[in-house]
Amino acid sequence: MLDGQVALITGIGAGMGTGIARAFADAGALVVGADIDSQAGHAVMNSIGPPAVFVQADVSKVHECQGLVDQVVADHGRIDVLVNNAGVTKSLGFFDVTEADWDRIYSVNARGLFFLMQAAAVAMRDQGGGRIVNIASIAGKGYRGTSNVAYAGTKGAVIAMTRIAASQLARHGINVNAICPGVTRTALFDQVIDELVDRNGGTREQAEAKAVRSIPLRRANDPQDIAALAVYLSSDAARNVTGQSWNVDGGLHWD
């Protein structure tokens, strides 16, 4: 489905990023995986095997976003797909969000995502087209169970930037879409559950059960649920799909 495509995927060291990287490799893409954690990133890409490669990068730093795209183009001649997956959060009440929390979450989830999208779009424009998939969240659509208000704000920004980017990049043959996961079993999910238990008491099993109980299909996402949609949106099967924000959440949130 993606044979011969060069795909840059961020945040591949764990969770959804790992699942997306493996799904893209299985679909025939040459995967360049990026993560701030060099050890975890190398381990994931080594498990996938050649021609998949790892590049260490901190997407909260704008110059590293540009450098990452430049390296992919220099090494592989083009960039056909960008999956903007890197993200951070923590469980915080409304009154607990600090300026440092705000700045850290926005620097990765919103600012870093935009400037990496911008850098990739320049390369895609010059080569005649491409696909961008931004990982947002149902938090960006007002899901009340979000980890914190700052995180929700960044994901709302991702949805809005996806729509504007899709409209402005369409004339260059670049499709831009967003995926909005719901509750997804990843290391980040485990972190948020642990923080909820620390703050509210109870057991980990009770906190997980509460998170899943509200889902109409009664199951949390696996990373593969997100990966399957990312592959589709990056393929020719979705050639006329752009500017959309797709919920993958078991029916948890309605648009």
What is the residue type of 28? G
Let me know if 151 is a catalytic residue: yes
Identify the active-site residue in 106, 143, 151, 232: 151
Place of tokens 């920004």: 157
Instruction: Give strand ranges (E) for 103-250.
Output: 130-135, 174-181, 245-248
Please choose, from the candidates 1, 2, 15, the residue with its C-alpha nearest in 3D space to the C-alpha of residue 225: 15
Place of tokens 């703050």: 199
Phi-psi region of 221 (alpha: psi -120 to 50; beta: other; left: phi over 0): beta
Cα radius of gyration rounded to whole Å, the chain: 17
Cα separation values, 115 from 97, 107, 118, 160, 167, Å: 25, 10, 5, 15, 17
Catalytic residues: 151
